[in-house]
Amino acid sequence: MKRQMIAQRKEYGHALVDLGKRREDVVVLDADLSGSTRTADFAKVFPDRFFDCGIAEQNMIGTAAGLASCGKTVFASSFAVFATGRCLDQIRQSVAYPRLNVKIVATHAGISVGPDGASHQTMEDIAIMRTMPNMTVIVPADAPETYKAIMAIADFDGPCYVRMGRSDVPVVTDEGSRFEIGKIQTIKDGADVTLIGVGQMLAACIEASEMLAQDGVSARVLDLSTIKPLDEAMLIKAAKETGAMVVAEEHNRLSGAGSAVATFLADKVSVPVHIVGMDDVFGESGESDELMIKYGLTPENIVESAKEAIRRRKA
């Protein structure tokens, strides 16, 4: 089945404009990348509420904190590698610690940035942000879910980190479905193994479930769009009912969403948890699809991990 392909950042720009029309407290900041992050869409309509901070990401976060302390709902954007790595101290001290209403929305995350190479392919941003006290972490699966996530965090009081990539990604979620922070959505039911997709890897999980079905394996597919807080009840339910779990993410497999799920389940339900993600290496320049294949972020890798998890469960 051929799916519509849309860049998540396109819907981010759309959501910001809609928010600006509804709420005068919304302001948007960027660090000289507004065309790429699509915050330029907001700037065209609300130039008096948009601030380009230039190539000074740390200052952007400090400015965002100041505006939030005065009652504004602030969206601050840049590429993920800059928004998290370059601004870690400012986020920790000026946003997370005082629990200010700053929404850090990062684009161009993961290996799928492609030709920009290792310097721009952040595979550790989820790890950085999920270990930050007071921080909510969201990784939407596609463009429709991105729009709903932005609307949800605008109404949420407190700091948030939203991660998305650069490339067009398949539309796999229902545009009419409800998005709720901290809740997992069931995309497909199944009894033999649970496939948990994070971000654009949800599409790969859906394809993997179809491949497994051809081998007589019934795979449940879950959309883990909120990394923190985890939907603990849904994870326990899936673990008990299927007995085998696979988490697929476009992130370093040592420290991302898969690590969060495995750590949580270790204390609750004894089931094999396999993580399909980037090994502990830096990426390289190349086309997005080529890199996803080279580093094992494919439906085929998910199928292999699912079968191994089932073997471990039976053993």
57 belongs to the catalytic site: yes
What gap in Å lies between CA 256 and CA 72, rounded to an integer?
30
The active-site residue, picked from 11, 24, 57, 241, is 57
Reported as half-sphere exposure (CB side, CA atoms, 13 A), residue 187 has a value of 28
What gap in Å lies between CA 109 and CA 54, rounded to an integer?
20
Which sign does the torsion angle of CA 110, 179, 96, 268 carry? negative
Total count of residues recorded for the chain: 315
Q: Is 105 helix (H, G, I), strand (E, B) or coil?
A: strand
What gap in Å lies between CA 67 and CA 55, rounded to an integer?
19
Do residues 33 and 55 touch, judged by C-beta distance below 8 A? no
Burial classification of residue 226, based on how many CB atoms lie within 10 Å of its CB (0-12 exposed, 13-18 middle, 19 or more buried): buried
DSSP letter, residue 167: S
User: Beta strands of 5-156 (E only): which ranges?
Assistant: 5-7, 26-30, 50-52, 73-79, 102-107, 136-138
Residues catalogued as catalytic:
57
